[in-house]
Every structure is written in structure tokens, then in C-alpha cells.
Amino acid sequence: MVHKVTDKDDMKKQLKDAGDKLVVVDFYATWCGPCRLIAPVLEKLAEENKEKLVVLKVDVDENEELTSEYGITSMPTFVLIKNEQKVHSFSGASEPKLREAIQQYS
């Protein structure tokens, strides 16, 4: 399941609740074409890996504080977090890169 983050407090709670699961945070915008293309792929990956993966979506226009905190400058950007620590990030709507990163860090 994919969770849409509402604010910074929600993000903190989601990261804490994830425990030792890998968290993939999708920083996206509703007007971003590549973001819309990768969204169904992200849903599928979340379902395929639900035992070891938590997927969060952050709308950059609704969460400017989080966008700034994570240094997001392009969309989509994926930030991978394990035990509340950032372990990897990359930009671009690439399914192979996303699968590889999930495989490597989960």
C-alpha cells in the first residue's frame, strides 16, 4: 500500500512505524508527466514487496518544508530510507533503477 504523506509530523510517524523495513519516498508533483507514468509501477512494487517495503508519496507542492529538507530539485525523486536514515536517492521515472534500489537496500 502507498501512503500519501500529509505533513512533516506524518512523515516522522511513518518512518518510525516502518521499523527496519525499507521506506521508498516518492517526491512527486501532480502536474509532472513522468511522475504520473511511474505511479502505477510504484503501486505494483509496493504490493509485491509489502513484507519488506513501505512506500510514501510526498506532493512537493503541498509539502514544501519536506521538499526543502530533503533537497528535492526535480521530480520524481526517490529517497530510500532504512531505520530512519537516508541510504540512497535518485531522480527520474526509471522502473529498472527503482527495482534495483529496492533489491539492493531491502
- Selecting among 24, 35, 54, 93, the annotated active-site residue is 35
- Selecting among 11, 15, 25, 32, the annotated active-site residue is 32
Is the distance from CB of 37 to CB of 93 less than 8 angstroms? yes
- CA 50 vs CA 5, 47, 83: distances in Å: 18, 5, 16
- CA 74 vs CA 7, 9, 31, 42: distances in Å: 19, 23, 12, 18
Q: Is 35 a catalytic residue?
A: yes
Q: Is 58 a catalytic residue?
A: no
- Active-site residue numbers? 32, 35
